[in-house]
């Protein structure tokens, strides 16, 4: 056993695909439209982050108007999504509705509950406008007939509203109409992830990637499921391929960094985690903890300690702050860094 001080991590990799609603940070003052991302992250505010995506799950490539309502009808702000994202600081806590409109797309809606001062992130998927006799599909994918597309749209809406039984019903109908469509199988995989059924999720996602080897989100989801199950060696190839197709996905790179770390590929884990942290632009400060772990694993103890101090300084209220303090104390007790 060498003298490295390895920091333990939570093996549960975050999967931010369809309809992710993630708790994060608060305020109860006035709403702010188009607020700066870094300000929202570093502040002590109840924050609603809206990710506007197309039917493939990628950020919407055109501008979209995002409106926020409380209790279904009380306006709480309006802004234009930048890079597929819009951020609000709601006036009050409670139930909110998000309405998104964009030229050439059907309006999208999502519901989000903010019962306590937290940060919540929600995805809204927009479907392109088509006439009744046309077919539609994701770019490069096989065509979906209108009936199948309707079931997919209803399934997406149900997933956004966390109505998993309804989502499963609509996806079952979609499978009957198009049993070998990779997008439908991908959504089935996402549904099974939401239902905590990794075996079925892996089956659906594996089939999706076999039918469409270039389905970046299915590859990323498959790699995430495998990583969550501790199958890190198996997780690395689909994650690598997903990044070859979509190198901008910092979420996928973060998951790859974790898998590399547990495979004791520490230098690569460091490189990937640093890249993921930079690309995330502060949206997932927890990545910085993985950077610290990798730095420790390669013997760069002072840099690891400084990374932990930075995290504590910038995110003292983060749920992982206690872990960061514990790791910093561990480095001090091991004599790897100088005491402050």
Of 141-155, 209-223, 301-315, the one with minimum mean pLDDT is 141-155
What is the average per-residue pLDDT within 137-160? Answer: 74
pLDDT at 193 over 80: yes
pLDDT at 8 over 60: no
What is the average per-residue pLDDT within 277-301? Answer: 93
pLDDT tens digits along 311-320 = 999 999 888 9
pLDDT at 277 over 80: yes
> Across the chain, what does the average pLDDT equal?
81
Burial environment of residue 238 by CB neighbours within 10 A (0 to 12, 13 to 18, 19 or more):
buried
pLDDT tens digits along 35-78 = 444 444 444 467 888 999 887 677 887 788 898 887 767 777 88
pLDDT tens digits along 80-93 = 887 788 888 887 88
| Measured CA distances, 192 to 18, 162, 164, 185 (Å) | 12, 13, 9, 11
CA atoms within 13 A on the CB side of 173: 16
Burial environment of residue 99 by CB neighbours within 10 A (0 to 12, 13 to 18, 19 or more):
middle
pLDDT of residue 142: 63
pLDDT at 200 over 70: yes
What is the average per-residue pLDDT within 251-258? Answer: 95
Question: Which CATH number is associated with domain 133-340?
Answer: 1.25.40.10
Question: Which CATH number is associated with domain 20-129?
Answer: 2.60.40.1120
Rounded Cα distance, 201 and 56, in Å: 18
Give yes or no for a contact between 71 and 142, defined as CB atoms under 8 angstroms apart.
no
- Residue 117 DSSP label: S
pLDDT tens digits along 224-241 = 999 999 999 999 999 999
What residue ranges do the domains of the chain occupy? 20-129, 133-340
What is the average per-residue pLDDT within 241-248? Answer: 91
Residue 130 pLDDT level (bands cut at 50, 70, 90) = low
Locate tokens 């209790």: which residue?
71
Rounded Cα distance, 40 and 42, in Å: 6
Percent of the chain whose predicted confidence (pLDDT) is above 70: 81
Full-model pTM: 0.65
Pairing of strands 65-70, 85-88: unpaired
CA atoms within 13 A on the CB side of 153: 19
Structure tokens at 236: 């690395």
Pairing of strands 47-53, 119-125: parallel
Phi-psi region of 25 (alpha: psi -120 to 50; beta: other; left: phi over 0): beta
pLDDT at 28 over 50: no
pLDDT tens digits along 101-116 = 888 788 888 888 888 8
pLDDT of residue 158: 86
pLDDT of residue 233: 97
């Amino acid at each position: 056993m060498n003298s490295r001080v390895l920091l333990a991590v939570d093996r549960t990799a975050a999967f931010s695909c369809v309809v992710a609603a993630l708790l994060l940070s608060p305020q109860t003052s006035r709403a702010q439209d188009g607020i700066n991302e870094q300000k929202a992250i570093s502040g002590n505010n109840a924050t609603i982050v809206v990710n506007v995506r197309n039917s493939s799950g990628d950020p919407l490539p055109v501008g979209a108007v995002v409106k926020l309502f409380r209790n279904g009808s009380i306006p709480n702000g309006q802004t234009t999504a930048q890079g597929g994202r819009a951020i609000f600081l709601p006036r009050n806590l409670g139930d909110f509705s998000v309405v998104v409109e964009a030229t050439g797309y059907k309006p999208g809606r999502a519901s989000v509950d903010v019962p306590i001062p937290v940060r919540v992130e929600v995805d809204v998927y927009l479907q392109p406008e088509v006439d009744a006799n046309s077919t539609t599909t994701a770019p490069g994918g096989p065509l979906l007939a209108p009936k199948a597309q309707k079931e997919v749209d209803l399934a997406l809406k149900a997933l956004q509203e966390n109505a998993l039984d309804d989502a499963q019903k609509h996806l079952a109908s979609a499978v009957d109409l198009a049993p070998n469509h990779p997008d439908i199988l991908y959504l089935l995989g996402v549904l099974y992830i939401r239902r905590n059924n990794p075996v079925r999720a892996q089956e659906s996602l594996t089939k999706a990637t076999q039918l469409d080897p270039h389905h970046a989100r299915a590859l990323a989801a498959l790699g995430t499921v495998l990583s969550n199950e501790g199958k890190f060696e198996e997780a690395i190839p689909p994650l690598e391929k997903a990044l070859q197709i979509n190198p901008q996905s910092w979420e996928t790179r973060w998951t790859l960094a974790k898998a590399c770390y547990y495979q004791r590929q520490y230098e690569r884990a460091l490189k990937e985690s640093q890249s993921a942290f930079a690309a995330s632009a502060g949206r997932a400060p927890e990545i910085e903890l993985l950077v610290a772990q990798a730095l420790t694993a390669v013997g760069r103890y002072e840099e690891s300690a400084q990374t932990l101090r930075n995290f504590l300084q910038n995110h003292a209220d983060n749920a992982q702050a206690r872990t960061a303090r514990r790791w910093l104390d561990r480095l001090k007790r091991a004599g790897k860094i100088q005491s402050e």
